[in-house]
Amino acid sequence: MSKPRIPVAEPELGEQELKNVTVAIKSGWVSSKGEFIERFEKGFANYVGTRHGVSTCNGTTALHLALVCLGVGKGDEVIVPSLTFVAVPNAVIYTGAKPVFVDSHPAYWCMDPQKIRKKISKKTKAIIPVHLYGHPCEMTPILEIAKEKGVYLIEDCAEAHGAEYKNRKVGCFGDISCFSFYGNKILTTGEGGMCLTDSSEYANSMKILRDHGMNPKKRYWHDFVGFNYRMTNLQAALGVAQLERIESTIRRKTWLASVYKEVLGKINNVTLAPEMPWARTVYWLYSILLRGVNRDRIMLDMDEAGVETRPFFYPAHKLPPYKTKEELIEAERLSKHGMNLPSSTKLSENEVLHVCDSLKRALVQQVR
Ligand SMILES: *Cc1c(COP(=O)(O)O)cnc(C)c1O
Protein backbone atom coordinates (compact mmCIF):
# COMPACT_ATOMS: atom_id res chain seq x y z
CA MET A 1 0.00 0.00 0.00
CA SER A 2 1.31 3.43 -0.85
CA LYS A 3 1.86 5.92 1.97
CA PRO A 4 -0.38 8.98 2.14
CA ARG A 5 1.52 11.79 0.51
CA ILE A 6 1.24 15.55 0.63
CA PRO A 7 1.63 16.78 -2.95
CA VAL A 8 3.31 20.04 -3.99
CA ALA A 9 0.30 21.07 -6.05
CA GLU A 10 -3.10 19.67 -6.83
CA PRO A 11 -5.94 21.33 -8.76
CA GLU A 12 -9.20 22.10 -7.04
CA LEU A 13 -12.04 21.04 -9.33
CA GLY A 14 -15.63 21.26 -8.13
CA GLU A 15 -19.27 21.08 -9.14
CA GLN A 16 -19.15 24.16 -11.36
CA GLU A 17 -16.25 22.75 -13.39
CA LEU A 18 -18.18 19.49 -13.83
CA LYS A 19 -21.35 21.37 -14.78
CA ASN A 20 -19.62 23.55 -17.39
CA VAL A 21 -17.78 20.65 -19.01
CA THR A 22 -21.04 18.69 -19.13
CA VAL A 23 -22.75 21.64 -20.84
CA ALA A 24 -19.89 21.80 -23.36
CA ILE A 25 -20.15 18.07 -24.08
CA LYS A 26 -23.93 18.14 -24.41
CA SER A 27 -23.65 21.08 -26.81
CA GLY A 28 -21.47 19.00 -29.11
CA TRP A 29 -18.87 21.79 -29.31
CA VAL A 30 -15.79 20.01 -28.08
CA SER A 31 -13.14 21.55 -30.34
CA SER A 32 -12.18 25.17 -30.65
CA LYS A 33 -15.61 26.66 -31.26
CA GLY A 34 -18.26 27.11 -28.58
CA GLU A 35 -19.67 29.51 -26.04
CA PHE A 36 -17.05 29.02 -23.33
CA ILE A 37 -14.05 30.15 -25.35
CA GLU A 38 -15.16 33.73 -25.76
CA ARG A 39 -16.55 33.82 -22.22
CA PHE A 40 -13.24 32.69 -20.83
CA GLU A 41 -11.19 35.05 -23.00
CA LYS A 42 -13.34 38.05 -22.12
CA GLY A 43 -13.63 37.08 -18.46
CA PHE A 44 -9.92 36.53 -17.96
CA ALA A 45 -8.87 39.68 -19.85
CA ASN A 46 -11.37 41.60 -17.74
CA TYR A 47 -10.03 40.06 -14.52
CA VAL A 48 -6.48 41.11 -15.33
CA GLY A 49 -7.49 44.45 -16.84
CA THR A 50 -6.59 44.24 -20.53
CA ARG A 51 -8.79 44.77 -23.58
CA HIS A 52 -8.20 41.47 -25.39
CA GLY A 53 -7.61 37.82 -24.53
CA VAL A 54 -6.46 35.23 -27.08
CA SER A 55 -6.62 31.71 -25.67
CA THR A 56 -4.12 29.03 -26.68
CA CYS A 57 -3.62 25.30 -26.10
CA ASN A 58 -0.89 25.86 -23.50
CA GLY A 59 1.42 28.48 -21.99
CA THR A 60 4.38 27.61 -24.18
CA THR A 61 2.40 28.19 -27.37
CA ALA A 62 1.14 31.47 -25.85
CA LEU A 63 4.77 32.62 -25.55
CA HIS A 64 5.60 31.46 -29.08
CA LEU A 65 2.49 33.16 -30.49
CA ALA A 66 3.36 36.46 -28.76
CA LEU A 67 6.93 36.37 -30.10
CA VAL A 68 5.83 35.59 -33.67
CA CYS A 69 3.12 38.27 -33.51
CA LEU A 70 5.75 40.87 -32.58
CA GLY A 71 7.94 39.77 -35.47
CA VAL A 72 10.72 38.16 -33.43
CA GLY A 73 12.77 35.81 -35.58
CA LYS A 74 16.15 34.81 -36.93
CA GLY A 75 18.97 37.21 -36.06
CA ASP A 76 17.10 38.70 -33.09
CA GLU A 77 17.91 38.43 -29.40
CA VAL A 78 15.41 38.16 -26.58
CA ILE A 79 16.30 38.90 -22.98
CA VAL A 80 15.03 36.32 -20.49
CA PRO A 81 15.85 35.41 -16.89
CA SER A 82 18.09 32.38 -16.46
CA LEU A 83 16.15 31.17 -13.41
CA THR A 84 12.83 30.19 -14.98
CA PHE A 85 10.99 27.29 -16.50
CA VAL A 86 12.68 26.14 -19.72
CA ALA A 87 9.60 26.90 -21.85
CA VAL A 88 10.69 30.56 -21.90
CA PRO A 89 14.04 30.18 -23.73
CA ASN A 90 12.55 27.33 -25.76
CA ALA A 91 9.81 29.59 -27.16
CA VAL A 92 12.53 32.06 -28.19
CA ILE A 93 14.45 29.28 -29.97
CA TYR A 94 11.29 28.18 -31.86
CA THR A 95 11.28 31.58 -33.60
CA GLY A 96 14.93 31.30 -34.65
CA ALA A 97 15.97 34.06 -32.25
CA LYS A 98 18.53 33.72 -29.46
CA PRO A 99 17.73 33.89 -25.74
CA VAL A 100 20.10 36.10 -23.71
CA PHE A 101 20.12 35.29 -20.02
CA VAL A 102 19.94 37.77 -17.15
CA ASP A 103 20.73 37.07 -13.50
CA SER A 104 18.18 37.11 -10.66
CA HIS A 105 17.64 39.80 -8.06
CA PRO A 106 18.92 38.43 -4.73
CA ALA A 107 16.00 39.78 -2.68
CA TYR A 108 13.01 38.70 -4.77
CA TRP A 109 14.46 36.12 -7.18
CA CYS A 110 13.01 37.51 -10.46
CA MET A 111 15.10 39.07 -13.26
CA ASP A 112 17.31 41.87 -11.89
CA PRO A 113 16.49 45.12 -13.75
CA GLN A 114 19.98 46.51 -13.03
CA LYS A 115 21.49 43.65 -15.01
CA ILE A 116 19.30 43.97 -18.10
CA ARG A 117 20.91 47.08 -19.56
CA LYS A 118 24.31 45.57 -20.30
CA LYS A 119 22.67 42.62 -22.06
CA ILE A 120 20.90 44.84 -24.57
CA SER A 121 22.49 44.87 -28.03
CA LYS A 122 21.53 46.12 -31.48
CA LYS A 123 19.88 42.74 -32.01
CA THR A 124 17.63 42.87 -28.93
CA LYS A 125 14.00 42.73 -29.98
CA ALA A 126 12.16 41.91 -26.74
CA ILE A 127 12.44 41.38 -22.99
CA ILE A 128 10.49 38.64 -21.23
CA PRO A 129 10.29 39.24 -17.47
CA VAL A 130 8.94 36.20 -15.59
CA HIS A 131 6.99 36.68 -12.37
CA LEU A 132 8.61 33.76 -10.59
CA TYR A 133 6.75 31.48 -8.16
CA GLY A 134 3.97 34.06 -7.78
CA HIS A 135 6.09 37.14 -7.01
CA PRO A 136 5.97 40.06 -9.48
CA CYS A 137 9.04 41.52 -11.17
CA GLU A 138 9.96 45.12 -10.51
CA MET A 139 8.21 46.58 -13.54
CA THR A 140 9.03 50.32 -13.42
CA PRO A 141 12.74 50.03 -14.33
CA ILE A 142 12.02 47.23 -16.82
CA LEU A 143 9.39 49.39 -18.56
CA GLU A 144 11.85 52.29 -18.63
CA ILE A 145 14.56 50.21 -20.27
CA ALA A 146 12.14 48.74 -22.83
CA LYS A 147 10.89 52.20 -23.75
CA GLU A 148 14.35 53.77 -23.90
CA LYS A 149 15.77 50.97 -26.06
CA GLY A 150 12.65 50.56 -28.21
CA VAL A 151 12.22 46.85 -27.51
CA TYR A 152 9.02 44.91 -26.89
CA LEU A 153 7.94 43.70 -23.48
CA ILE A 154 6.31 40.28 -23.13
CA GLU A 155 5.31 39.41 -19.57
CA ASP A 156 5.37 35.74 -18.58
CA CYS A 157 2.64 35.50 -15.94
CA ALA A 158 2.37 31.69 -15.98
CA GLU A 159 3.12 31.49 -12.25
CA ALA A 160 1.46 34.67 -11.06
CA HIS A 161 -2.25 34.96 -11.99
CA GLY A 162 -3.66 37.78 -9.87
CA ALA A 163 -0.30 39.01 -8.53
CA GLU A 164 0.11 42.79 -8.41
CA TYR A 165 2.91 45.28 -8.89
CA LYS A 166 2.07 48.61 -7.26
CA ASN A 167 -1.64 47.73 -7.14
CA ARG A 168 -1.83 46.79 -10.83
CA LYS A 169 -2.18 43.18 -11.88
CA VAL A 170 0.72 41.57 -13.70
CA GLY A 171 -0.25 41.05 -17.31
CA CYS A 172 -1.18 44.75 -17.72
CA PHE A 173 2.36 45.97 -18.32
CA GLY A 174 3.60 44.18 -21.41
CA ASP A 175 2.85 44.73 -25.10
CA ILE A 176 1.58 41.18 -24.77
CA SER A 177 1.45 39.03 -21.64
CA CYS A 178 1.30 35.25 -21.51
CA PHE A 179 -0.40 32.91 -19.06
CA SER A 180 -0.40 29.14 -18.57
CA PHE A 181 -3.35 27.14 -17.25
CA TYR A 182 -1.48 23.86 -16.72
CA GLY A 183 -2.83 21.52 -14.02
CA ASN A 184 -0.62 22.86 -11.24
CA LYS A 185 -1.06 26.57 -11.98
CA ILE A 186 -3.24 29.01 -9.99
CA LEU A 187 -6.02 28.65 -12.54
CA THR A 188 -6.17 25.49 -14.63
CA THR A 189 -7.84 24.30 -17.80
CA GLY A 190 -5.88 21.03 -17.79
CA GLU A 191 -3.56 22.29 -20.50
CA GLY A 192 -4.10 25.82 -21.71
CA GLY A 193 -2.77 29.32 -22.09
CA MET A 194 -3.67 32.87 -23.03
CA CYS A 195 -2.12 36.00 -24.50
CA LEU A 196 -3.45 39.31 -23.21
CA THR A 197 -3.00 42.65 -24.92
CA ASP A 198 -4.57 46.10 -25.23
CA SER A 199 -3.77 46.20 -28.95
CA SER A 200 -6.58 45.04 -31.25
CA GLU A 201 -3.98 44.73 -34.00
CA TYR A 202 -1.93 42.20 -31.99
CA ALA A 203 -5.06 40.38 -30.84
CA ASN A 204 -6.33 39.96 -34.41
CA SER A 205 -2.95 38.88 -35.67
CA MET A 206 -2.61 36.28 -32.88
CA LYS A 207 -6.11 34.93 -33.59
CA ILE A 208 -5.15 34.37 -37.23
CA LEU A 209 -1.73 32.93 -36.37
CA ARG A 210 -3.20 30.41 -33.90
CA ASP A 211 -5.67 29.25 -36.57
CA HIS A 212 -3.25 28.10 -39.31
CA GLY A 213 -2.85 31.66 -40.56
CA MET A 214 -6.22 31.39 -42.25
CA ASN A 215 -7.72 34.56 -43.67
CA PRO A 216 -10.84 35.21 -41.56
CA LYS A 217 -12.75 36.41 -44.62
CA LYS A 218 -11.69 33.66 -47.02
CA ARG A 219 -11.85 30.04 -45.88
CA TYR A 220 -8.76 27.92 -46.66
CA TRP A 221 -6.85 30.96 -47.83
CA HIS A 222 -3.59 31.20 -45.89
CA ASP A 223 -1.54 34.36 -46.24
CA PHE A 224 1.35 32.94 -44.22
CA VAL A 225 2.41 29.88 -42.24
CA GLY A 226 0.43 29.79 -39.01
CA PHE A 227 -0.08 27.24 -36.24
CA ASN A 228 -2.82 25.28 -34.60
CA TYR A 229 -2.55 26.71 -31.11
CA ARG A 230 -6.27 26.92 -30.34
CA MET A 231 -7.87 26.16 -26.99
CA THR A 232 -10.85 23.79 -26.93
CA ASN A 233 -14.32 24.61 -25.63
CA LEU A 234 -13.83 21.86 -23.02
CA GLN A 235 -10.72 23.58 -21.68
CA ALA A 236 -12.47 26.95 -21.69
CA ALA A 237 -15.47 25.42 -19.86
CA LEU A 238 -13.07 24.48 -17.06
CA GLY A 239 -11.48 27.92 -17.23
CA VAL A 240 -14.77 29.79 -16.80
CA ALA A 241 -15.48 27.82 -13.61
CA GLN A 242 -11.93 28.23 -12.34
CA LEU A 243 -12.06 31.97 -12.93
CA GLU A 244 -15.05 32.24 -10.58
CA ARG A 245 -12.94 30.86 -7.74
CA ILE A 246 -9.63 32.59 -8.47
CA GLU A 247 -9.78 35.08 -5.62
CA SER A 248 -10.61 32.35 -3.12
CA THR A 249 -7.70 30.28 -4.53
CA ILE A 250 -5.34 33.21 -3.96
CA ARG A 251 -6.73 33.86 -0.47
CA ARG A 252 -6.16 30.21 0.42
CA LYS A 253 -2.58 30.31 -0.90
CA THR A 254 -1.93 33.51 1.04
CA TRP A 255 -3.26 31.83 4.17
CA LEU A 256 -1.01 28.77 3.57
CA ALA A 257 1.91 31.18 3.23
CA SER A 258 1.02 32.85 6.51
CA VAL A 259 1.17 29.50 8.30
CA TYR A 260 4.51 28.68 6.70
CA LYS A 261 5.85 32.14 7.61
CA GLU A 262 4.82 31.85 11.21
CA VAL A 263 6.26 28.39 11.78
CA LEU A 264 9.37 28.54 9.57
CA GLY A 265 10.22 32.19 10.18
CA LYS A 266 11.93 31.33 13.43
CA ILE A 267 14.27 28.74 11.93
CA ASN A 268 17.86 29.78 11.40
CA ASN A 269 18.60 27.94 8.20
CA VAL A 270 15.44 29.02 6.39
CA THR A 271 14.96 32.14 4.24
CA LEU A 272 11.26 32.72 3.61
CA ALA A 273 9.64 33.55 0.26
CA PRO A 274 10.06 37.25 -0.54
CA GLU A 275 7.33 39.84 -0.53
CA MET A 276 8.59 43.24 -1.62
CA PRO A 277 6.74 46.37 -0.42
CA TRP A 278 5.49 47.01 -3.97
CA ALA A 279 4.26 43.46 -4.45
CA ARG A 280 1.14 41.45 -3.94
CA THR A 281 2.54 37.97 -4.32
CA VAL A 282 0.15 35.08 -4.89
CA TYR A 283 2.46 32.31 -3.60
CA TRP A 284 1.92 29.96 -6.55
CA LEU A 285 4.32 27.54 -4.84
CA TYR A 286 5.45 28.56 -1.38
CA SER A 287 9.22 28.68 -1.71
CA ILE A 288 12.13 28.89 0.70
CA LEU A 289 15.91 28.92 0.63
CA LEU A 290 17.94 26.63 2.86
CA ARG A 291 21.27 27.91 4.16
CA GLY A 292 24.14 25.88 5.55
CA VAL A 293 22.59 22.49 4.84
CA ASN A 294 22.35 20.04 1.96
CA ARG A 295 19.00 20.80 0.32
CA ASP A 296 18.77 17.56 -1.63
CA ARG A 297 19.30 15.55 1.55
CA ILE A 298 16.52 17.54 3.26
CA MET A 299 14.20 16.85 0.33
CA LEU A 300 14.90 13.11 0.57
CA ASP A 301 14.16 13.10 4.30
CA MET A 302 10.91 14.97 3.75
CA ASP A 303 9.99 12.54 1.00
CA GLU A 304 10.44 9.73 3.52
CA ALA A 305 7.95 11.54 5.75
CA GLY A 306 5.42 11.59 2.89
CA VAL A 307 6.01 15.21 1.90
CA GLU A 308 6.59 16.05 -1.75
CA THR A 309 8.83 19.04 -2.48
CA ARG A 310 10.44 20.46 -5.61
CA PRO A 311 13.88 21.90 -6.14
CA PHE A 312 14.07 25.31 -7.85
CA PHE A 313 14.58 25.31 -11.61
CA TYR A 314 18.12 24.82 -12.88
CA PRO A 315 19.44 28.09 -14.33
CA ALA A 316 18.76 27.80 -18.05
CA HIS A 317 22.32 28.90 -18.90
CA LYS A 318 23.51 25.63 -17.32
CA LEU A 319 21.20 23.34 -19.33
CA PRO A 320 22.72 21.45 -22.29
CA PRO A 321 20.88 23.36 -25.07
CA TYR A 322 21.81 26.74 -23.61
CA LYS A 323 25.11 26.11 -21.87
CA THR A 324 27.41 29.11 -21.58
CA LYS A 325 30.58 29.67 -19.59
CA GLU A 326 29.01 32.75 -18.08
CA GLU A 327 28.43 32.93 -14.34
CA LEU A 328 25.10 34.27 -13.14
CA ILE A 329 25.83 34.08 -9.46
CA GLU A 330 22.43 34.80 -7.96
CA ALA A 331 20.51 32.47 -10.29
CA GLU A 332 23.02 29.71 -9.50
CA ARG A 333 22.85 30.32 -5.75
CA LEU A 334 19.03 30.41 -5.69
CA SER A 335 18.79 27.30 -7.84
CA LYS A 336 21.08 25.41 -5.49
CA HIS A 337 19.38 26.40 -2.23
CA GLY A 338 15.75 26.90 -3.19
CA MET A 339 12.84 24.53 -2.78
CA ASN A 340 9.06 24.65 -3.24
CA LEU A 341 6.86 23.36 -0.43
CA PRO A 342 3.39 21.82 -0.77
CA SER A 343 1.05 24.65 -1.80
CA SER A 344 -2.21 22.99 -2.77
CA THR A 345 -5.33 24.90 -1.73
CA LYS A 346 -6.73 21.59 -0.52
CA LEU A 347 -4.18 21.29 2.32
CA SER A 348 -5.47 21.46 5.89
CA GLU A 349 -3.68 23.35 8.65
CA ASN A 350 -2.58 20.03 10.12
CA GLU A 351 -1.06 18.96 6.83
CA VAL A 352 0.87 22.24 6.55
CA LEU A 353 2.09 21.78 10.12
CA HIS A 354 3.16 18.25 9.21
CA VAL A 355 5.16 19.67 6.30
CA CYS A 356 6.86 22.15 8.67
CA ASP A 357 7.52 19.41 11.16
CA SER A 358 9.12 17.14 8.56
CA LEU A 359 11.34 20.03 7.47
CA LYS A 360 12.38 20.79 11.06
CA ARG A 361 13.20 17.14 11.72
CA ALA A 362 15.25 16.91 8.53
CA LEU A 363 17.14 20.07 9.51
CA VAL A 364 17.91 18.77 13.01
CA GLN A 365 19.49 15.65 11.45
CA GLN A 366 21.98 17.82 9.59
CA VAL A 367 22.53 20.68 11.98
CA ARG A 368 23.28 18.83 15.19
C1 LIG B 1 4.29 26.65 -16.71
C2 LIG B 1 5.14 27.70 -17.30
C3 LIG B 1 5.18 27.93 -18.69
C4 LIG B 1 4.62 27.01 -19.72
O5 LIG B 1 3.32 26.68 -19.62
P6 LIG B 1 2.75 25.32 -20.22
O7 LIG B 1 1.28 25.58 -20.13
O8 LIG B 1 3.19 24.20 -19.35
O9 LIG B 1 3.21 25.18 -21.61
C10 LIG B 1 5.89 29.03 -19.16
N11 LIG B 1 6.56 29.83 -18.32
C12 LIG B 1 6.59 29.62 -17.00
C13 LIG B 1 7.37 30.55 -16.13
C14 LIG B 1 5.89 28.54 -16.44
O15 LIG B 1 5.95 28.31 -15.13
Per-residue pLDDT tens digits for 40-79: 999 999 999 999 999 999 999 999 999 999 999 999 999 9
pLDDT at residue 250 in the model: 98
Q: What angle do CA 16, 134, 328 make, to 5 degrees?
A: 150
Are 210 and 228 in contact by the 8 Å Cβ rule? The answer is yes
State the closest ligand 1 atom to the C-alpha of 159, by its place in the atom list counted from 1: 15
The structure's pTM equals 0.97
- pLDDT averaged over the chain? 97
pLDDT tens-digit profile of 8-49?
Answer: 999 999 999 999 999 999 999 999 999 999 999 999 999 999
- For residue 1, pLDDT over 60 is answered with no
Q: How far apart are CA 255 and CA 315, in angstroms?
A: 30
- For residue 5, pLDDT over 70 is answered with yes
Q: Indicate the residue type of 157.
A: C
Distance 59 CA to ligand 1 centre (A): 5
Distance 9 CA to ligand 1 centre (A): 15
Percent of all residues in the chain with a pLDDT value above 70, rounded to a whole number = 99
pLDDT at residue 325 in the model: 92
pLDDT at residue 2 in the model: 58
> What residues flank ligand 1, with Cβ below 6 Å?
58-60, 84-85, 87-88, 130, 156, 158-159, 180, 182, 193
Q: How confident is the model at residue 368 (pLDDT cuts 50, 70, 90)?
A: low
Region 167-188: mean pLDDT is: 98
pLDDT at residue 367 in the model: 73
Are 201 and 207 in contact by the 8 Å Cβ rule? The answer is no
Helices (H), the chain: 15-27, 35-48, 59-69, 87-94, 139-149, 200-209, 233-244, 246-264, 295-304, 329-337, 349-367
Distance 180 CA to ligand 1 centre (A): 5
- For residue 94, pLDDT over 80 is answered with yes
**57, 82, 159, 238: which to mutate for ligand 1, most atoms within 8 A of CB?**
159
pLDDT at residue 3 in the model: 59
State the closest ligand 1 atom to the C-alpha of 84, by its place in the atom list counted from 1: 13
**157, 182, 231: which to mutate for ligand 1, most atoms within 8 A of CB?**
182
Distance 284 CA to ligand 1 centre (A): 12
pLDDT tens-digit profile of 229-283?
Answer: 999 999 999 999 999 999 999 999 999 999 999 999 999 999 999 999 999 999 9
Distance 135 CA to ligand 1 centre (A): 15
Q: How far apart are CA 330 and CA 173, in angstroms?
A: 25
Distance 287 CA to ligand 1 centre (A): 17
Region 88-92: mean pLDDT is: 98
Q: How far apart are CA 189 and CA 48, in angstroms?
A: 17
